[in-house]
C-alpha cells in the first residue's frame, strides 16, 4: 500500500506536517512518499501509483496552492483515496469535497488519518480534539535542510534551520485566528522526549537553529521551559525561536531571562494592531500599552521581539497606518519587522469567529470560493489602494535592506495621507538582529 503525502507551503520549513503522519503510516505498514511541492516536482507516475494521497493544509496560502493539484490528482488517479488535514482542511471542507477530497481531518489528525487509511469505519468526523501519544516524526525522503530557510545572524553567520512542535492548539480565542474554530480554546502538548528526539535528528542533519512552531509557546510555560533547557543542555551551540502572545510575555516575564540563557534568538508575537479598538474586536488580550511594555520587557531580558501584524483591515485609516509606522520607528523596531508584515490584509475564512461580530459581518461582501475568503472592501478606497501599492513594493524587493524598504513604505503612506514623511534612520550594512530569510506569512 502506497501513500503520498503532499505539502505545498509550510513557511519555508521542512514540513513537520508530512514527517509526523509519515511516522504513523509507516509504523502501520504503509509505504510512504513525502513530497514538498515548494521544493520539488510532484511526479505524475508517483501520483498514478498511489493508493492514498494526503494534503497538509496548515494555512490559507497552502490551501489555495493545493486546490489545482488536488484536481489534477483526481484526473490522474480517480481510484485513489484523497484526504486533507491541518487547520484549513475542516474550514474548507465543502470546497475540498467538491474537487474530490474524500475526508478532512483537523486537530490531532495523525491517529484518525491512519485509522481511516487502514479502513477503520469508526473514524467518522468528530468535533472533538483527541488526545494522542505523538510519535517521533519520520523525516526520511524530505528535501535536506539546506533547501529551506536559513537564520541570518548579526555577525553574518548563516545557520541551517530545523523545526518542530512542542504543543498544538491554543487556549485563547482570538477572533481572527484559524486555530480557534478547530481547537476551541484547547491545546495539546507533545511529550518532551518526542520533541527533543525530533530536534536532535535535525541537528544531526546539520541544523544549528530550531524553530518551535507552537501557536503560543507559553500556553504551557513549565512544559516549554523544560524543553528548551533540555535542548540547551544537550546542544548548547544551537539557537531557537518561539512564538508567544504579548499577554504571556508580560504574565510570565520572569521566564524571559531563561529563554535568553538557553539560546533563544528571537520571539515572534502576533501583535496584529496598535489600535485598542481593533485589538478589542480581534479579542487579542492585549492593548497598545501592553505591546510597548512587552518591547521593553524583552529588551531588558536580552531578547529580540519580532512583531507580526494584520496591517490592513476595515477599521484602518491612513492616519492609523502612519501611526503604526511611526510607532515602530519610535520603538526602534524597523529591523525586527519583516516588510511583508506591513502589507498583510485581514483574511476572513469560513468558520472565523469574526463572522459573529456585527461590525465585521456588515462590512463583508460575500464568500469568494476562488480565494476561500469573505470579500471586503474598505470604505475609503485610498486604504485599499495603499495596501496594493505596499504589497507590490514589498513583493518586488527581496534583498533590499529593511530600513530602506521601510522608508519607501513610510513615504507612500504619508503621501497618501497628505502628511510629510518623518526622517528615517539610514540603512545599515547588515541587520542588527537575527532573522529568518523566509519570514512568517499566512
Q: pLDDT for 182-231, tens place per residue?
A: 899 999 999 999 999 999 999 999 999 999 999 999 999 999 999 999 99
Residue that is written with C-alpha cell 468528530 in the block: 126
What single-letter DSSP state applies at residue 50?
Answer: -
Tens digit of each residue's pLDDT (9 = 90 or more) over 11-25: 899 999 999 999 999
Write down the mean pLDDT value for the chain.
94
- Measure CA 349 to chain center: 15
Closest residue by Cα to residue 435 from 156, 107, 124: 156
In sequence order, the 6+-apart residues with CB closer than 8 A to the CB of 432 are: 154, 335
CA angle 20, 204, 133 (to 5 degrees): 25
* Mean pLDDT for the stretch of residues 225-252: 98
Residue that is written with C-alpha cell 485581514 in the block: 346
Q: How many CB atoms lie within 10 A of CB 163?
A: 27
- What's the rounded Cα separation, in Å, for the pair 413 and 391? 12
Closest residue by Cα to residue 433 from 408, 406, 402: 402
pLDDT grade for 430, boundaries at 50, 70 and 90? low
- What's the rounded Cα separation, in Å, for the pair 301 and 254? 9
Looking at residue 324, its pLDDT comes to 98
Query: What is the pTM assigned to this prediction?
Result: 0.94
% of the chain beyond a pLDDT of 90: 87
- What's the rounded Cα separation, in Å, for the pair 312 and 386? 9
Amino acid at each position: 500500500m502506497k501513500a503520498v503525502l503532499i505539502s505545498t507551503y509550510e513557511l519555508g520549513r521542512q514540513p513537520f506536517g508530512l514527517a509526523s503522519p509519515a511516522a504513523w503510516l509507516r509504523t502501520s505498514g504503509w509505504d510512504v512518499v513525502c513530497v514538498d511541492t515548494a521544493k520539488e516536482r510532484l511526479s505524475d507516475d508517483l501520483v498514478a501509483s498511489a493508493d492514498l494521497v494526503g494534503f497538509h493544509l496548515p494555512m490559507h496560502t497552502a490551501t489555495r496552492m493545493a486546490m489545482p493539484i488536488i484536481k489534477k490528482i483526481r484526473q490522474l488517479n480517480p481510484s485513489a483515496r484523497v484526504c486533507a488535514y491541518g487547520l484549513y482542511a475542516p474550514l474548507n471542507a465543502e470546497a475540498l469535497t467538491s474537487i474530490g477530497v474524500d475526508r478532512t481531518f483537523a486537530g490531532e489528525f495523525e491517529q484518525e488519518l491512519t485509522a481511516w487509511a487502514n479502513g477503520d469505519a469508526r473514524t467518522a468526523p468528530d468535533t472533538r480534539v483527541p488526545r494522542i501519544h505523538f510519535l517521533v516524526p519520520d523525516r526520511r525522503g524530505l528535501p535536506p535542510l539546506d533547501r529551506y530557510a536559513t537564520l541570518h545572524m548579526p555577525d553574518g553567520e548563516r545557520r541551517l534551520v530545523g523545526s518542530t512542535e512542542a504543543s498544538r492548539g491554543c487556549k485563547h480565542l482570538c477572533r481572527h485566528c484559524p486555530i480557534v474554530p478547530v481547537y476551541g480554546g484547547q491545546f495539546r502538548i507533545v511529550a518532551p522526549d518526542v520533541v527533543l528526539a525530533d530536534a536532535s535528528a535535525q541537528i544531526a542533519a546539520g541544523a544549528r537553529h530550531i524553530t518551535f512552531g507552537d501557536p503560543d509557546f507559553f500556553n504551557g510555560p513549565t512544559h516549554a521551559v523544560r524543553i528548551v533547557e533540555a535542548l540547551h543542555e544537550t546542544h548548547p551551540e544551537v539557537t531557537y525561536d518561539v512564538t508567544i502572545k504579548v499577554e504571556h510575555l508580560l504574565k510570565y516575564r520572569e521566564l524571559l531571562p531563561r529563554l535568553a540563557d538557553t539560546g533563544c534568538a528571537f520571539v515572534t508575537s502576533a501583535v496584529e494592531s496598535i489600535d485598542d479598538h481593533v485589538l478589542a474586536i480581534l479579542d487579542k488580550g492585549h492593548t497598545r500599552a501592553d505591546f510597548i511594555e512587552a518591547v521593553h520587557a524583552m529588551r531588558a531580558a536580552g531578547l529580540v521581539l519580532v512583531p507580526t501584524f494584520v496591517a490592513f483591515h476595515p477599521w484602518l485609516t491612513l492616519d492609523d497606518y502612519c501611526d503604526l509606522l511611526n510607532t515602530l520607528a519610535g520603538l526602534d523596531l524597523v529591523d525586527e519587522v519583516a516588510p511583508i508584515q506591513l502589507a498583510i490584509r485581514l483574511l476572513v475564512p469560513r468558520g472565523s469567529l469574526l463572522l459573529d461580530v456585527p461590525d465585521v459581518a456588515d462590512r463583508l461582501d460575500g464568500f469568494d470560493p476562488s480565494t476561500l475568503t469573505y470579500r471586503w472592501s474598505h470604505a475609503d478606497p485610498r486604504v485599499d489602494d495603499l495596501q496594493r501599492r505596499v504589497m507590490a513594493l514589498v513583493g518586488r524587493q527581496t534583498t533590499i535592506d529593511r530600513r530602506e524598504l521601510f522608508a519607501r513604505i513610510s513615504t507612500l503612506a504619508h503621501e497618501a495621507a497628505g502628511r510629510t514623511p518623518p526622517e528615517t534612520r539610514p540603512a545599515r550594512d547588515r541587520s542588527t538582529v537575527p532573522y529568518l530569510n523566509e519570514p512568517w506569512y499566512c
